[in-house]
């Protein structure tokens, strides 16, 4: 009994010494503050898994992970920037990165040649400013999607989505449903209430090569004949052909296509598994209908290290790990941010039936250039283009008004 008691005491002592050693190791470890926006539990569980693997490979580093819901994110980060209390590394919304990158807040990423060759050029360009790379993009894209069951109901071939704008309009006229003279199911989802600049950019880029809403820095770049023709086409779908849901039926909680109130649309790639689960066998995917080109809007979350990070070197190493093949695949599987490494494309394409389309969408991406006044610029475009959808201004006048306001904004 005495021997057993002694063994127990030794075991207790060993556990105590282990705890003390662990506590000492934690105290001596380099600590990195990592903030990530988003309320989804999949983001937390996936990022915590990535962190665990990184810490196992770097026993002298500890990552303190904080996840903040989007509705609180902008206030929290703005206050941190104002008080010089930013984390070492954080995620950033697409527009937020554009507003902040010109303020010299972020550390330049020292990217090796092998990584530069393996990462898609468009993804590197998205995280760059004035030729220097400041952030890695975790992207999501907006493929063209359609309801196969609605196609069959309308006498359309469910395996032949519209290839161009003329066909899109023809299909929409066959797919729309009305009751009492009012659209109750849109032929195509054109969310002109609050998000019109996104669908406008998708269509504008199909009309004009290298199209963008503004140049890097914010100078507007959309008031030309291609821009006018694009808006005229979209407004005609609403006012002339009446195949778009009216504003009182458009929801800020989700798109009409995702809710089943539109036959065709541009859903977020991150929502596709849930969408497919709710409509098994009924969703088809394709590249967006082309006019001259076929382009897909691609957004996402940027990961950047702050220039004043206490442990900048270690934070940059962790940032690079997140962008490694191993972590990128884990983030894709857990959060559905799409991989941007060329060496993962074959594996990605074979992982899901629709990933071949998503891969093509990523290769033909269009998005926003850096704009230090992104929020104001986006709101201005939405407000003015909305006037055209309500019939209060012609497409040309609406675009001109938006252009003039953005030009003034860019010169402040």
Residue 125 burial by Cβ neighbours in a 10 Å radius (0-12, 13-18, 19+): middle
Q: What is the homologous superfamily of the domain 26-140+299-366 according to CATH?
A: Periplasmic binding protein-like II (3.40.190.10)
Q: pLDDT tens digits for 177-189? A: 999 989 999 999 9
List, in sequence order, the alpha helices (H) in 40-190: 41-57, 70-82, 94-100, 113-118, 121-126, 148-153, 165-175
> Quick one: average pLDDT of 378-400?
96
Is pTM, for the whole model, over 0.95? no
> Quick one: average pLDDT of 305-311?
95
Question: What residues pair up with 254 in beta bridges, in sequence order?
Answer: none
CATH node for 144-297+369-410: 3.40.190.10
> Quick one: average pLDDT of 71-76?
93
pLDDT band at 256 (very low <50, low <70, confident <90, very high): confident
- Domain ranges across the chain: 26-140+299-366, 144-297+369-410
List, in sequence order, the alpha helices (H) in 208-266: 225-239, 256-259
Q: pLDDT tens digits for 199-248? A: 999 999 999 999 999 998 899 999 999 999 999 999 999 999 999 998 76
Q: Residues with Cβ < 8 Å from 374, sequence gap 6 or more?
A: 95, 96, 98, 99, 368
Is pLDDT of 20 > 50? no
pLDDT band at 385 (very low <50, low <70, confident <90, very high): very high
Q: pLDDT tens digits for 87-116? A: 999 999 988 998 999 999 999 999 999 999
> How far is the C-alpha of 304 from the C-alpha of 188, rounded, in Å?
37
């Amino acid at each position: 009994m005495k021997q057993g008691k002694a063994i127990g005491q030794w075991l207790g002592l060993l556990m105590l010494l282990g705890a003390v050693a662990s506590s000492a190791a934690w105290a001596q470890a380099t600590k990195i503050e990592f903030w990530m926006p988003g309320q989804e539990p999949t983001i937390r569980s996936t990022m915590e898994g990535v962190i665990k693997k990184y810490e196992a490979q770097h026993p002298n580093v500890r990552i303190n992970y904080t996840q903040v819901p989007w509705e609180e994110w902008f206030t929290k980060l703005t206050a941190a920037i104002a008080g010089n209390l930013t984390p070492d590394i954080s995620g950033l919304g697409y527009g937020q990165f554009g507003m902040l990158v010109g303020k010299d807040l972020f550390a330049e990423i020292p990217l090796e040649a092998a990584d530069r060759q393996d990462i898609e050029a468009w993804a590197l360009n998205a995280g760059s400013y004035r030729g220097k790379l400041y952030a890695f993009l975790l992207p999501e894209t907006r493929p063209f999607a359609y309801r196969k069951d609605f196609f069959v109901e309308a006498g359309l071939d469910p395996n032949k989505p519209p290839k161009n704008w003329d066909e899109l309009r023809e299909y929409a006229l066959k797919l729309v449903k009305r009751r009492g003279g009012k659209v109750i199911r849109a032929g195509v989802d054109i969310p002109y209430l609050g998000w019109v600049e996104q669908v406008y950019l998708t269509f504008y880029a199909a009309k004009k090569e290298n199209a963008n809403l503004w140049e890097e820095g914010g100078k507007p770049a959309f008031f030309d004949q291609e821009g006018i023709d694009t808006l005229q086409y979209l407004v005609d779908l609403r006012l002339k052909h009446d195949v778009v849901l009216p504003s009182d039926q458009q929801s800020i909680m989700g798109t009409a296509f995702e809710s089943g109130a539109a036959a065709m649309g541009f859903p977020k790639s991150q929502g596709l598994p849930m969408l497919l689960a709710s409509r098994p066998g009924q969703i088809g995917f394709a590249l967006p209908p082309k006019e001259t080109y076929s382009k897909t809007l691609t957004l996402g979350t940027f990961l950047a290290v702050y220039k004043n990070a206490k442990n900048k070197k270690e934070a940059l190493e962790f940032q690079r790990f997140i962008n490694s093949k191993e972590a990128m695949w884990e983030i894709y599987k857990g959060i559905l941010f799409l991989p941007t490494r060329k060496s993962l494309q074959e594996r990605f394409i074979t992982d899901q039936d629709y990933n071949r389309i998503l891969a093509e969408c990523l290769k033909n991406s269009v998005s926003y250039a850096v704009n230090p006044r992104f929020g104001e610029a986006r709101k201005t475009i939405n407000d003015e283009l909305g006037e055209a959808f309500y019939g209060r201004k012609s497409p040309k006048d609406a675009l001109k008004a938006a252009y003039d306001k953005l030009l003034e904004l860019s010169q402040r």
